[in-house]
Amino acid sequence: MNTTAPTLTPTTRALTWCLHLLIVGLLVLAAGRAWADSQPHTGMIIGVATACALVYAAGPLLPHVRRSRRAAAVWLAAVGAVWLMLLALSADGVWVAFPLYFLQLHLLPRRAGLAAVVVTALAVITAFAVHRGSFSPVTAIGPALGAAVAVAVVWGYQALYRESEERRKLIEELTATRADLAQAQHTAGVLAERERLAREIHDTLAQGFSSIQLLLRAAERALPTAPQTAARHVEQARQAAVDNLAEARRFVVALAPPALVGSTLTSALEHLCATTSTRHRLTARFHLTGEPQPLPTAYEVALLRITQSALSNTVRHAHATIAEVTLSYLGDHVAVDIVDNGTGFDPDRLPAPHPENGGFGLSTMRARTHALGGTLIIESTMGHGTALAAQLPLTPAADNKPEAHP
């Protein structure tokens, strides 16, 4: 049997002291009335009342009484035994029964406490009838009513305390859940921002550095035999570095790409095709289909970045001579198509992305289109070129909010 009392209902210091003072006061009252009225056995009554007070005072001083059901039961039995002696000597001892009810209900288990209260009430009724020399139903009403009030008060207090504890635990769980949710949202936000930064770095700085590297290699090959061509490649590389620096600065302050500042998506794509044709051995031609209409900035940024990445892949890997870029406004969606006459590849056998060798371009394009509720379609066959189509809806779904852009 577990004798510990972890389930005791805590009480405030004020209630505890009120109970102590009530018991001591009632014992003093019994002893005082015995002395004042010169009752028979006055000395014994005063001595037993004093002994009862001393036995009761030992309880709060003993730590085992607060921690052990068994110790509390032994202490209550000792207090009850001395109290019964007082009850046998003086009718004034019946008043001590009322605070004893509260002690029994608080320290003992629920059933044992109720049984102790019933026994105590019967002892009071019997003793009071003996001291009066007669018994009547009125004699039993007071002790029974006091016991009922004590049971109602103590059990009501315990029920309120349990409800308060359950509410406190629920609030703690809700607080912990909110903290976990906030942490999860923060983590998701960090991951989303990290993914966005990775896409922007790949489509701006990484592509720019790749273009500079290709131009400088071309200048290195042309330098021994064609210094003017080499100088032109170096100048183009310098201009690419200037453009890259502008992209980096606007990337830091979260502004739109330089190509879209004070310009339209159509103009930006035309300029991109012209720049690509000038810097590399690739003829990039731009076409416009449909009536242009204003697009959200996130759409323009995504389509521009996808086109930049596709043309960069064409220059680096496809060995193509012609690339056709088509911007189409098709009623309920806008699309950009990039088609080249390069060597092509097998879309089902792409190498895994690698920090040194790259390979992040296509996954970045897909992430951009999916973030805006669009689709990315790639068709390619070895030796027959590549066609890439990115489509974005002009009425995006509510759960596809445009992402932030640099």
**SS3 readout for the chain:** CCCECCCCCCCCHHHHHHHHHHHHHHHHHHHHHHHHCCCCCHHHHHHHHHHHHHHHHHHHHCHHHHHEHHHHHHHHHHHHHHHHHHHHHCHHHHHHHHHHHHHHHHHCCHHHHHHHHHHHHHHHHHHHHHHHCCCCHHHHHHHHHHHHHHHHHHHHHHHHHHHHHHHHHHHHHHHHHHHHHHHHHHHHHHHHHHHHHHHHHHHHHHHHHHHHHHHHHHHHHHCCCCHHHHHHHHHHHHHHHHHHHHHHHHHHCCCCCHHHCCCCHHHHHHHHHHHHHHHCCCEEEEEEECCCCCCCHHHHHHHHHHHHHHHHHHHHHHCCCEEEEEEEECCCEEEEEEEECCCCCCHHHCCCCECCCECCHHHHHHHHHHHCCCEEEEEECCCCCEEEEEEEECCCCCCCCCCCCC
pLDDT of residue 285: 94
pLDDT of residue 136: 80
Inform me whether the pLDDT recorded for 401 exceeds 60. no
Inform me whether the pLDDT recorded for 406 exceeds 60. no
pLDDT bin (cut points 50, 70, 90) of residue 404 is: very low
Inform me whether the pLDDT recorded for 177 exceeds 80. yes
Higher pLDDT, 2 or 118: 118
Q: Which of 154-163, 189-198, 282-291, 362-371 has the lowest mean pLDDT?
A: 189-198
pLDDT of residue 249: 65
Which range in 188-202, 218-232, 252-266, 391-405 is most confidently predicted, on average pLDDT?
218-232
Higher pLDDT, 12 or 362: 362
Question: In terms of pTM, does the model score above 0.75?
Answer: no
pLDDT in tens, 99-150: 888 888 888 888 888 998 999 889 888 888 888 878 788 778 888 888 898 8
Inform me whether the pLDDT recorded for 306 exceeds 60. yes
pLDDT in tens, 13-42: 787 888 888 888 888 888 888 888 777 888
Q: Average per-residue pLDDT in the chain?
A: 81
pLDDT in tens, 216-263: 888 888 877 888 888 887 888 888 787 777 776 666 555 556 666 667
Altogether, the residues listed in the chain come to a count of: 406
Higher pLDDT, 64 or 342: 342
pLDDT of residue 176: 87
pLDDT of residue 400: 46
pLDDT bin (cut points 50, 70, 90) of residue 279 is: confident
